[in-house]
Structure 1
Amino acid sequence: MIGALYANLKRPPRTAAEWTADAVRAAAILLVLVSLFVLPATDTAVLSMALPAVMLSRMLGLRAGLDLLTCVTVIVAAGSNVLDLYRSWTGWDLVVHAACTGVLAAVALVVLDDSGVVPRTGRRRTPIVVATTAGLALSAVWEMVEWFGYRFITDSIFVTYDDTIGDMVAGGLGALVVGILASRVRLTRGDRAAL
């Protein structure tokens, strides 16, 4: 598995979308490095949380468009927190939760499928159920992280019951949409190294 992840990571980009995804990935790394010197530590920590997703999408060999979408979405999600857009733009929180949970559910679906956790049944319902379940689980974990941050790090994190439930519903819907798409479209490149 590690060898396949490394093979996908070192594969040179071939299409414009792959080059663009790699450029966005490099910008994300640079952004985190710069933030170390110009932003508070909490903002740097938030931005750095995007890095595993932008790297994993490349290492898994996601299709170029999905790879790019994943990179942009997680960077926008982290940046929206740093720029305080969740408080200033009504409804932005729900849009980002749906989109970000959706792309992360796609990543989870590929990981679970490749690692054999999810049996290859060939049924079109399987990606729908697995992606939605993964998205709801990721939403729950994220809300726990928000609560922990609010409770033990800073009270500037916005946490209410309605916000938590709304975020989880939006995330679950985003994951459901990805599951439906994944039941019809391949999420990975055809030439990737299989895990």
Structure 2
Amino acid sequence: MIRALYANLKRPPRSATDWLADAVRAIAIVLVVLSLFTLPFTDFAVLSMSLPAVMLSRMIGLRSGLDLVTCVTVFVAAGSNVLELYRAWTGWDLVVHLVCTGVLAAVALVLLDDAGVVAPTGRRRTPIVVAMIAGLALSAVWEMIEWFGYRFITDAIFVTYDDTIGDMMAGGLGALIVGVVASRWRLTRDDRAPL
């Protein structure tokens, strides 16, 4: 499995979308490193949490369009926190939860598919249910992280009951959309190294 992850990571880009996704990945890495020296540690920590998803989307061989959307979405989600866009733009939080949870549910589906836990994506209705479960689980974990940050790190993190439930509903809807897509089309590239 490690060998396949590495093979997908080192695969040269073959399309403009591949190049764009790799450019977003490179920019994310540079900005995270720069943030260590220029931003408060909490902002660096938030930005750095995006890097695993940005790298994993390439390592598991997501289709190039989905790879690009994952990279942009995850880094925009983290950057929106640093730039305080969630407070400045009403509803932005729900949009980001919908899209970000959706792309992370796609990553979870591919990982669960490769591990033999669920039926392959692109066939059957199983991805719809599994994506919803993964999306709601990811949403719950994220909301617990927000609560922990608010309770023990800084009260600048906005946490209310309504916000938490709304975020989880938006995330669940994003995961449902990805589940429907995954039940009809493969989420991975045809030329990826199998995990």
TM normalised by structure 1 equals: 0.98
Aligned length: 195
Measured at CA, do residues 38 and 121 of structure 1 come closer, stay the same or move farther in structure 2, by a change above 3 Å?
closer
Deviations 1:12-69 (A, max 9, x none): 1110000110000000000001101110000000000000000000000000000000
Secondary structure of the residue aligned to 1:183 is helix
Q: Which amino acid aligns with 2:97?
A: H
Q: Give the match for residue 179 of structure 2.
A: 179
Q: Give the match for residue 28 of structure 1.
A: 28
Structure 1 unaligned regions, length at least 5? none
Q: Give the match for residue 45 of structure 1.
A: 45
Q: CA deviation at 1:121?
A: 9.6
Percent same amino acid among aligned pairs?
82
Q: CA deviation at 1:124?
A: 2.1
Q: Give the match for residue 88 of structure 1.
A: 88
Q: CA deviation at 1:141?
A: 0.2
Output the aligned Cα RMSD.
1.2
Off by >6 Å, runs of 4+ in structure 1: none
Aligned equivalents of 2:105, 2:146: Cα separation in 1: 19
Q: Is the 8 Å Cα contact of residues 63 and 189 (structure 2) preserved in structure 1?
A: yes
Q: Which amino acid aligns with 2:7?
A: A
Deviations 1:132-153 (A, max 9, x none): 1100000000000000000010
Measured at CA, do residues 120 and 36 of structure 1 come closer, stay the same or move farther in structure 2, by a change above 3 Å?
closer
Q: CA deviation at 1:122?
A: 8.0
Secondary structure of the residue aligned to 2:184 is coil
Deviations 1:162-190 (A, max 9, x none): 00000000000000000001111110000
Q: CA deviation at 1:7?
A: 0.5
Aligned equivalents of 2:96, 2:122: Cα separation in 1: 31
Q: CA deviation at 1:117?
A: 1.6
Aligned equivalents of 2:173, 2:70: Cα separation in 1: 17
Q: Is the 8 Å Cα contact of residues 122 and 184 (structure 2) preserved in structure 1?
A: no
